[in-house]
Chains A and B, each alone.
Chain A
Amino acid sequence: NAGVTQTPKFRVLKTGQSMTLLCAQDMNHEYMYWYRQDPGMGLRLIHYSVGEGTTAKGEVPDGYNVSRLKKQNFLLGLESAAPSQTSVYFCASSYGGQGSQPQHFGDGTRLSIL
């Protein structure tokens, strides 16, 4: 069972470069999320989507864009990478937004911006 798959697992970028992180889920979930994890701060929500074609801002959206063109995929883009975006990024998905429908997480992407 694949669950939530994140691509790539590791990446090093130079300041100003752009890249896209891909999240794919095979559970037919409606909701998808992007979080970043920084030391001492837990996970913080960047953007989320409640269905195909929809996106919304989370707690820390600045510097990121997202797209949900297909239900199973949720893309996170960095248009001009900055050192402050060095972090571990997690994608998650769930059937809905209720607590009875827990979020399933990918294995994370470690991104370093030099």
Chain B
Amino acid sequence: AQTVTQSQPEMSVQEAETVTLSCTYDTSENNYYLFWYKQPPSRQMILVIRQEAYKQQNATENRFSVNFQKAAKSFSLKISDSQLGDTAMYFCAFLSGAGGTSYGKLTFGQGTILTVHP
């Protein structure tokens, strides 16, 4: 079974600065997807960014980018020019690309609470 670990329960950053959230995972698969979800106080689960394991290029979405290290099984999220609206819980998640019983099932990390200070 896959596991996802977020070792930073809480992080804080000043507005306009850059912050990096860490995520490691464990799998024996070669084909999979990794995600970062944002959960603001409103409780919504919002997809921030997605990375396909077979793509070497790191995914970017505006101020959000990832550092995907497949060999090290590491998937960190970098938020540039942090904004007050970035304050939220951030979850890293793994999705198997294989068929069978793992198909479609997300495995989440424990979450990191990010606070952006003015």
A43-B91, A99-B52 known; A107-B106 Cβ under 8 A: no
Interface residues of B in 85-110 (CB under 8 A from A): 91, 95, 97, 103-106, 108-110
The answer to whether A99 and B50 touch across the interface, beta carbons within 8 angstroms, is: yes
Interface size on A, as a range, is: 20 to 34
Query: Which bracket fits the contact residues of B?
Result: 20 to 34
Compute how far the CA of A17 lies from the CA of B47 in the bound complex, rounded to whole angstroms: 35
**Quick check: is B16 within 8 A (CB to CB) of the other chain?**
no
Stretch at the interface among A19-27, A44-52, A63-71, A73-81: A44-52
In the complex, the answer to whether A99 meets B91 with C-beta atoms within 8 Å is no
A residues 92-114 with Cβ under 8 Å of B? 92, 94, 96-100, 102-103, 105, 107-108
Whether a CB of chain B sits under 8 angstroms from the CB of A61 is: no
Closest to B95 in A: A99
- Tell me, yes or no, whether B45 is within 8 Å of chain A by CB: yes
Q: Beta-carbon contacts of B21-41 to A below 8 Å, as 1s and 0s?
A: 000000000001101000000
Q: A: which residues have CB within 8 A of B?
A: 31, 33, 40-45, 48, 50, 58, 88, 90, 92, 94, 96-100, 102-103, 105, 107-108
Q: Give 6 A-B contacts (CB < 8 Å), ordered by A residue.
A: A41-B110, A43-B45, A97-B103, A98-B104, A99-B52, A99-B97
The 8 A-B pairs at the shortest CB distance, nearest first, are namely A97-B104, A99-B33, A42-B108, A105-B45, A97-B103, A43-B108, A108-B43, A99-B95
